[in-house]
Amino acid sequence: MPEINSRKYHELSPTEQLSNRMYLRRFVLKAPHQSRYTPKIDVLETLDREHKTIVYVLIAEFSVPKLLYGNSLQEVSDKDLGKVVTVFRDVLLRVGIQVENEAVASARVSAVHFCKNVPLPKDIRLQDILAELQRVDISKVFDITTKETKNGGQVLHIYSGTIERVFYDKVKDALRPKVKRKDKGHIDYEREVIEKYHLQNIEVFRYEYRIKKTQTVQRDINLALERKPKTYVAFRDLFTDGLPSKVLLKSWRDMIDSPENQLALIGPVDSFRVLQRIVEGARAQGGAHSMNHALIAYGLTCIIRDHGVKEFRRLIFSHWNGDHPERLNRKLAQASELTKGLPYSNGVAFVDGQIEKYELITRSLLDSCTVQ
């Protein structure tokens, strides 16, 4: 490439040969605005002083659905590795970068976003689902760095160290100005797809599970693949049969399945039916204080379902010491056990079922108008 010509070690200046910098030169591909999607590409010229050689490292960041389809409403199958690698190689060839297929397939993954689009039926509103997710005490499931809501409560973004969880309406996000979108990339064709299939009035719940660092990628992916924790993750590994659905479902269930969050997300069930379920469960368990357990569980369930876990904990620990919440946690776990079988709220239950089902949004699905 004329912008970053290849060099040999003997061509370096004495200063460069003694350099301790991460790289000697850096080339950033800034593709012109065009209808075809182009990945973000960095090429680093690095020095291997031990072997007195120059090594060129290519770092690529791209959306796989946009690479194949020009939009991220459509979703990619875990059987599409060959197609993705071929298209990626051809796109790079257009800008003068030659990469072999095997080099792409075996490239190390340092960050990955797993995403799922869930078209919602007319009787389930995305804003209601986000409000329900706001009721859960996510900080009890994993450490929270920042939690923010934007655009009038239409976007929920949870930052947790090297992990992010994002929930929003994919269609409305695509129609917003770039400065207000979660997706900051080139989405002209995505808007054309929305217009072609008349999706403007359909809410599409999007869940993104973003893994941002190499060590966390290794932890999550190798756990899902049942491999040793420090095994390096190659691009081809992301297309292992069933891996995307497995990672997404685990990350979703980690969030909603703690005892107190199960209580917060109990659906529109009549209060008497809730009490009946708890009483029957406590009676079946037996014990000298089964009635007390039932009444305590019913009280906890009602207050948490109505006001959320955080408000409940804030009230309790403003009057009692919160340094040792073990007794309260045991009561919450017991209440959760006694309410098992009661359904989640309609919105969360629908999303949970769709993530478990994991039906891909494809062009044929759009053509059949299934999402309308």
The residue extents of the domains of the chain are 2-105, 112-260+350-367, 266-343
CA distance 131 to 263: 15
Q: In this prediction, what percent of the chain has a pLDDT beyond 70?
A: 91
CA distance 25 to 45: 5
C-alpha dist (Å) from residue 16 to 3, 51, 52, 147: 19, 15, 11, 44
pLDDT at 146: 52
Q: So what's the pLDDT on residue 179?
A: 72
Percentage helix, strand, coil, to 5, in the chain? Answer: 45, 15, 35
pLDDT tens string 255-279: 888 888 888 888 778 889 899 999 9
Instruction: Give the per-residue pLDDT at 180.
Output: 74
First to last CA, the chain: 48
Closest-CA residue to 137 (of 147, 129, 127): 147
* Pairwise CA distance, residues 195 & 241, whole Å: 33
Over residues 5-31, the pLDDT tens digits come to 788 999 999 999 998 889 999 988 876
3-state SS assignment for residue 103: helix
For residues 183 and 306, the model is more confident at 306
Stated as kind and residue range, the H or E segment containing 205 is strand 204-211
When the pLDDT of each residue in the chain is averaged and rounded to a whole number, the result is 87
| Average pLDDT rounded to a whole number, residues 199-222 | 94
pTM of the predicted protein model: 0.81
| Nearest-angstrom CA–CA distance, 363 and 360 | 10
Model pLDDT for residues 86-111, shown as the tens digit of each residue? 999 998 888 778 889 999 999 999 99
pLDDT (mean) for 303-317: 85
Comparing C-alpha atoms, which of 256, 255, 262 is closest to residue 334? Answer: 262
How many angstroms separate the CA atoms of 2 and 32, rounded? 17
pLDDT greater at residue 174 or residue 221 = 221
CA distance 236 to 241: 11
- Which residues is 344 bridged to in the sheet? 266
Q: Angle formed by the axes of helices 214-225 and 243-256, to 10°?
A: 100
